[in-house]
Amino acid sequence: MNTKVWKVDKYVDNLENNPQVVDAANFLRDNEVVALPTETVYGLGGNATSDVAVAKIFAAKGRPSDNPLIIHIAEKKQLSTFVAEVPDKAEVLMEAFWPGPLTIIFKKKEGVLAESATAGLETVAVRMPDHPVALALLKSCGLPIAAPSANSSGKPSPTNAQHVLDDLNGKIAGVIDGGATGIGVESTVIDCTEAIPVILRPGGVTKEQLKAVIGEVRVDAALTDEAARPKAPGMKYQHYAPNAPLFMVSGTTQFLQSLVEEKRTAGLRVGVLTTEEQVDVLEADVVLACGKRAELETVATALYDTLRKFNLEQVDIIFSEVFPNEGVGNAIMNRLQKAAGNKLIAE
Ligand code: TXA
Ligand code: MG
């Protein structure tokens, strides 16, 4: 398959009628799959009401069929077509964070969406992305769009169109190149089907922000206890992994440097994931700065691109600094832990 690339400037006016966007929307209406930029990561979109389109999403990514997709909408009124019930707290959350990086789980109305999109569950995950190109595409096609991150299953999520092509070129109808995404980690997933909402995946909206608008919020046990079974099926899979084994390292810079020396002496090509503050201090075969530690948002923005860069550098092993587990640091550490398969070396 020849994968089309539509270049779209997200700052131009009237994006909904932009010829490139309209062309991509027509592919979606024909049940083809198209990658699109959002404010978090690139998504691989397909008509959520079509089993044919949804099957193409799962096939292109090599995604396990028991892992449900997030349904993307441009307008709140679309909700009532496939959501059975909107609890008060969900209403408050939508008001505060939509459009934006918050995915809300609702009870599903049966018979509207493709069963495969929700992996046969009685609930459905929905979000309204805060990206002009994504919103224009959603409006232009007029469909609820199922869109997982547009990477091959297991790889780091894509934060630019080239990442999408590196994984899916030839496997999808097209990609809208709207530039690099901003937030860099996926949306927060919150289950609002329970009286006290539960965070299933940390992401772009922090726990602190959620608490500020709805009060008490729980966190799925699987996020802190490796043995617990996660409520979001996708959270059980190894994810975001670079090709070389990745180890998280906690302790001093000297300790990290000593680990590097040991592996280099053993003849390995060693990579280090650090931040701008330390990039000139550490020595290894490949030392990459992933944002600034003093501004954790910049670490989130750069994380997946940095993990992907290590693949281009052909390193044998990667040591990564760890980050404070608070605010957006919750999402960063969650992704880093998955990328590392939880391997941590503490001083
Ligand atoms: O930022 C994002 O959310 C990106 C962009 C493209 O919107 N999308 C994304 O989708 O990250 P994906 O498929 O990579 O992750 C969706 C997560 C998975 O962990 C999945 O198991 C969970 O949401 N999920 C989806 N529907 C669910 C449901 N009904 N109940 C529980 N978890 C659900
Ligand atoms: Mg994903």
Q: pLDDT per position in the chain (347 positions), as tens?
A: 999 999 999 999 999 999 999 999 999 999 999 999 999 999 999 999 999 999 999 999 999 999 999 999 999 999 999 999 999 999 999 999 999 999 999 999 999 999 999 999 999 999 999 999 999 999 999 999 999 999 999 999 999 999 999 999 999 999 999 999 999 999 999 999 999 999 999 999 999 999 999 999 999 999 988 888 889 888 887 788 899 999 999 999 999 999 999 999 999 999 999 999 999 999 999 999 999 999 999 999 999 999 999 999 999 999 999 999 999 999 999 999 999 999 999 99
Q: What is the spatial distance between Cα 156 and Cα 237, in angstroms, rounded to a whole number?
A: 12
Q: What is the pLDDT of residue 241?
A: 87
* Dihedral sign (CA 122, 89, 230, 329): positive
Q: What is the spatial distance between Cα 19 and Cα 145, in angstroms, rounded to a whole number?
A: 19
The residue whose CB lies within 8 Å of the most ligand 1 atoms, and thus the one to mutate among 44, 149, 159, 223, is 149
- For 11-109, list the strands marked E by DSSP: 34-36, 43-47, 70-72, 83-85, 102-108
Q: What is the pLDDT of residue 301?
A: 98
Q: Which atom of ligand 1 is nearest to the CA of 185?
A: 1
136 token code pair = 């224009």
Q: What is the spatial distance between Cα 224 and Cα 142, in angstroms, rounded to a whole number?
A: 39
Q: What is the spatial distance between Cα 177 and Cα 118, in angstroms, rounded to a whole number?
A: 27
Residue with tokens 């990039």: 279
CA 272 remoteness from chain centre: 23
CATH dotted code for 246-346: 3.40.50.11030
Classify 44 as helix, strand or coil: strand
Residue with tokens 């802190």: 224
Q: 20, 7 in Cβ contact below 8 A? A: yes
Indicate the domain borders of the chain.
4-224, 246-346
Closest ligand relative to 35 C-alpha? 1
CA-based end-to-end distance of the chain: 50
Q: 299, 326 in Cβ contact below 8 A? A: no
**Which residue has a Cα nearest atom 22 of ligand 1?**
232
* Ligand 2 mean position, distance from CA 185 (Å): 10
The residue whose CB lies within 8 Å of the most ligand 1 atoms, and thus the one to mutate among 34, 189, 193, is 189
**Which residue has a Cα nearest atom 12 of ligand 1?**
148
Closest C-alpha among 140, 142, 120 to residue 132: 140
Q: What is the spatial distance between Cα 31 and Cα 53, in angstroms, rounded to a whole number?
A: 5
Q: Residues whose CB is under 5 A from ligand 2 (ion)?
A: 149
The residue whose CB lies within 8 Å of the most ligand 1 atoms, and thus the one to mutate among 57, 63, 70, is 70
Q: Which atom of ligand 1 is nearest to the CA of 157?
A: 14
Q: Which atom of ligand 1 is nearest to the CA of 127?
A: 7
* Ligand 1 mean position, distance from CA 249 (Å): 28
Report the top-level CATH class of 4-224: alpha beta
Q: What is the pLDDT of residue 228?
A: 86
Residue with tokens 């729980």: 218
Protein residues whose CB sits closer than 6 Å to any atom of ligand 1: 38, 40-41, 43, 67-70, 101, 103, 105, 118, 121, 123-125, 127, 129, 147-149, 186-187, 189, 200-201, 231-235
